[in-house]
């Protein structure tokens, strides 16, 4: 086991997964906490059904709350404890947030087997050539869009993250 792993934080993530799925029935079996300096600074649990929002995943909520609390879009020095392996959206968000480490309980295969959560299908879609994906994407009006990018690139005070 990882020497930095703290089972109490994973227990909390698992408690939150129970809250989401069994107690409040707000969404799937997913709970997460963000930890910094040995303390939980933010929590989240799946509320996709409650809010009718496909992005209301446990990790997303915990990351949003941690960023607000710390006043930054980056979570350097933070770890995420999540009751189940991150879906593609949550994993990408963890990368955008620059978290140091993710600890998870159940695997993607467990979520598929016991809950019909088919994240594997999404991963398969992402790996495809864009022209072969189920959701088609088409480029239009690139010169107009790039014009704004060029203007942005020339701003000395542009947003950087």
Distance CA 6, CA 55 (A): 27
Give 99: exposed, middle or buried? Use CB within 10 Å, 0-12, 13-18, 19+: buried
Evaluate whether 44 touches 68 at the Cβ level (below 8 Å): no
| CA dihedral sign of residues 146, 125, 106, 51 | positive
Radius of gyration (Cα) for the chain, nearest Å?
Answer: 18
154 is catalytic: no
Please enumerate in sequence order all residues whose Cβ is within 8 A of that of 96, keeping only pairs 6 or more positions apart, or say none.
Answer: 73
Distance CA 140, CA 159 (A): 25
* Residue of 101, 92, 111 lying closest to 34 (CA atoms): 101
**Which one from 43, 59, 125, 151 is the annotated catalytic residue?**
59
By annotation, the residues acting in catalysis are 59
């Amino acid at each position: 086991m990882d020497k930095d792993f703290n089972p109490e934080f994973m227990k909390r993530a698992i408690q939150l997964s129970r809250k989401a799925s069994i107690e409040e029935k707000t969404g799937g079996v997913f709970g997460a906490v963000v930890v910094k300096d040995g303390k939980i600074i933010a929590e989240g649990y799946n509320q996709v059904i409650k809010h009718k929002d496909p992005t209301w995943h446990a990790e997303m909520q915990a990351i949003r709350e941690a960023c607000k609390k710390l006043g930054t879009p980056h979570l350097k020095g933070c770890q995420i404890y999540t009751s189940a392996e991150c879906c593609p959206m949550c994993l990408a968000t963890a990368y955008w947030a620059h978290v140091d480490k993710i600890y998870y309980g159940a695997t993607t295969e467990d979520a598929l087997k016991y809950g019909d959560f088919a994240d594997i299908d999404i991963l398969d879609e992402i790996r495809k050539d864009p022209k072969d994906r189920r959701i088609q994407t088409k480029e239009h009006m690139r010169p107009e869009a790039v014009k704004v990018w060029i203007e942005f690139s020339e701003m000395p005070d542009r947003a950087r993250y």
